[in-house]
Amino acid sequence: MVTYFEASLQTLSVHNIGNSSQQELYALSDHSVQFKDEVISQLLKQYFLAPFEKVNEVYHLMHFSGDLELNELYSFTTDIFANSDHFHEISQQIAKCLYSVSSHPKIKSGELYVAYFEQVQLEGELLDAIGVFKSENKETYLKVYPEKGGFEITYEENAININKLDKGCLIFNTEKENGYKVVVIDNSTRGQDAAVYWKDEFLQLRIRNDSFNQTSNTLSVYKNFVTQKLDDDFDMTKADKIDLLNRSMKYFKEKDTFDMDEFAGEVIGNPQAIESFKSYKKQYEDEFETPIADTFEIAANAVKKQLRVYKSVLKLDRNFHIYIHGNKELIEKGFDDEKHLNYYKVYFKEEA
């Protein structure tokens, strides 16, 4: 999605952001960073941009009122793209904005980096981009070097691992009227309340409703429908549910285009279940204000991502796991009256 082999880091400003609920302050630098050599610039590009090579979701900046101008990041970004002469001063305003939403007790203090890049490629287009990044986690590194016929070992505390970006976003200078194209990273491992501040409170994002998002949402909604809703209307075994999930994944792997009626007929089959799924899908669309089209191009990378959370394992107490990948007619469930235990009977031609 994002490539940066042609990108150049033009300007970088660094500030420190504390947690206001912990009586920590923010510290603003007086000027942008002056790069001492090209090596530093290349390392920073790797630290800031490399994590986005595996990001597929594209977002837009938004504001809950519907007025984009009320999103502070949108206004700051627009000012920089219009005239980068005031880049550092605007970076200070971005730092203050982040500090104002850094009030949850579990939010860590850290450095904020605001960067201006040229020639970053997104979806095949070379664009200027503003990067906003935050480092929260520090590590200790050992340094080994030759000294007087032997070796010496020293260490560096509170150092940053350039292969682990904690938080970041790239705002691309395109589709301004929609809130620009934005890609984001948030590797929070803390509670949900602390995690949402980056995407929801600071950036204020809405995901772009493209083929990747449509594919992901449909697979996710269908998975939840099978695992959480079907039991309300039908008597189904776990093996039946796994079969329905396997059939849906097979459909998405083999087809280029999703068609709701075709999917419902080939995968679900039962008319009552089909209506129940359509109703469940409609509830999702209304609740999250995210429409899912009845027809769209299937994004293979979204299918691959969803495959990780589609489980085809039947877990029996703590003794056995049965992996179901094919014909569910080859597995039968029963109950042994003498042992008072459930059982599964599995048919097969030969052992692998």
**What's the pLDDT at 272?**
93
- The pTM of this model reads 0.77
The DSSP letter of residue 109 is P
**Residue 35: which of 9, 4, 5 has the closest Cα?**
9
pLDDT of the residue at 317: 79
In whole angstroms, give the CA distance from residue 171 to residue 122.
11
Return the SS3 of 95: helix
Question: Token pair for residue 69?
Answer: 């101008």
Q: What is the pLDDT along the chain (352 residues), one digit of tens a residue?
A: 799 999 999 999 999 999 988 889 999 999 999 988 899 999 999 999 999 998 989 999 999 898 999 999 999 999 999 999 999 999 999 999 999 999 888 899 999 999 999 999 998 899 999 999 999 999 999 999 998 889 999 999 999 999 999 999 999 999 999 999 999 999 876 555 566 889 999 999 998 888 999 999 999 999 999 988 988 888 888 888 888 999 999 999 999 999 999 999 999 999 999 999 999 999 999 988 788 999 999 999 899 988 877 777 667 777 777 776 766 677 777 888 888 888 888 888 887 6
Task: Give me the residues paired with residue 344 across strands.
Answer: 333
Looking at residue 195, its pLDDT comes to 64
